[in-house]
Amino acid sequence: MTANRINTAERRQAHAELTPPTYRRHRPGSMMAMVLGVGGIAIFSMRLGHYPLSSAAILDVLWSSLIGQDSALGSAVDNVVLAVRLPRVLAAILVGAGLSSAGAAFQTLFRNPLASPAILGVSAGAGFGAALAMLLSAGGVMLQGAAFAGGIVAVSSAVFIASRLGRGSVLLLVLSGLVVSALFQALTSALKFIADPLNVLPAIVFWLLGGLGQVSLSDLIYASPFALGGIAVLFLLRWPTQVLEAGDDEAKTMGISVRPLRLVLIAAATLTTAAAISIAGTVGWVGLLVPHLARLLVGQTYSVVLPASALLGAGYLLIVDDICRSAFATELPLGIATAVLGAPMFVVVLMRARRQWS
């Protein structure tokens, strides 16, 4: 009995020594704090605009809408909150959470801290689909559907090429994604070259820069099932994905079918990313930066990093979108703001986390 106790104590001590400090930072209340933080930022975001509103007015309109009544503030305020600001805030939450979740999944799947949702060409494919739709004078749901379809086709092409070159090779999958991404970027450039420089070309360029100013409730209705469904699949598979992070051999010894799991994760992350891009345009750095911020806050465990990334991504994109529409006289494209803010922030993250990646 004494020997068993000694062995158990030794194993616990060895586990504590081998476990990085970041694994032990998570506290149960941190997720609730993130949820409340996102809710508070969302209310603050709906206050911003040319028609200033108080938090009490925002909550009154939302509650009245929830119970099916008109608020006491009048129809004008109701329209501002429900038809203009609420769709934009919900879109920022959906896009931020979707891109961050996909980024966390891809970084774990490929065991690469530089992996992002665009690694398999979904952004380039979605950009080509949107540019083609605008060249054909399609708009609204058709434009959103074309962007979504373009992203799916690009990732499917990358997976097909990798499967033909070698089964189960993560490196070939990444290289195939780079090839497909370069191809679709070239095709998008060709469409921009032949587009009408007075009408169509500015629309293509503006869409590729990203933005949430034109998002409506109908856009969210079409995109939300794919984005939320992809996030749900990633969350349900968080435990086998965490085992997969240790390596394919380790996952196989645990009875996990590596190749089907990898394909399902790629499909779920791609659906989420394509849906997000279809309503927001090309928005970079969110899926690359936010998962690393989550790891600094809650540790390296994927099952905790995934929901933390989704919540942090939602709050982060809300803040960036607030800056885009209130810092200047004209609205700044979202893709520019995420790049300008994301690049220096990522340098700071690199400095904080360099020992974990070395």
Domain contains 12: no
Give the distance from CA 189 to its chain's centroid.
Answer: 25
User: How many angstroms separate the CA atoms of 158 and 122, rounded?
Assistant: 10
pLDDT tens, position by position, 203-231: 999 999 999 988 989 899 999 999 999 99
* Least confident residue range of 16-30, 181-195, 299-313, 338-352: 16-30
Domain contains 73: yes
The phi and psi torsions of 108 (rounded to 5 degrees) equal -75, -45
Residue 185 is encoded by which pair of tokens? 């970027």
pLDDT given at position 185: 96
Domain contains 14: no
Domain contains 5: no
User: How many angstroms separate the CA atoms of 342 and 51, rounded?
Assistant: 30
How many domains would you assign to the chain? 1
Domain contains 231: yes
Let me know: does 212 contact 318? Beta carbons within 8 Å. Answer: no
Largest CA distance in the chain: 84
**Once rounded to an integer, what is the mean pLDDT over residues 303-329?**
93
CATH, residue 77:
1.10.3470.10
pLDDT tens, position by position, 110-150: 888 888 999 999 999 999 999 999 999 887 889 999 999 99
User: How many angstroms separate the CA atoms of 247 and 258, rounded?
Assistant: 10
- Residue 256 DSSP class: -
User: How many angstroms separate the CA atoms of 333 and 316, rounded?
Assistant: 16
pLDDT given at position 17: 37
pLDDT given at position 66: 86
Residue 152 is encoded by which pair of tokens? 């799916």
**Beta-carbon neighbour count of residue 336 at 10 Å?**
14
Residues whose CB falls within 8 Å of the CB of residue 43, separated by 6 or more in sequence, listed in order: 55, 58, 59
pLDDT given at position 247: 74
Let me know: does 92 contact 215? Beta carbons within 8 Å. Answer: no
pLDDT given at position 308: 95
Domain contains 24: no
Range of the domain at 81: 35-357
pLDDT tens, position by position, 236-294: 999 898 888 777 777 778 778 888 889 999 999 999 999 999 999 999 899 999 999 99
pLDDT given at position 7: 46
Residue 109 is encoded by which pair of tokens? 């799947």
Please give the angle made by the CA atoms of 298, 301 and 303, to the nearest 5 degrees.
Answer: 100
Domain contains 23: no
Domain contains 1: no
| Confidence (pTM) | 0.88
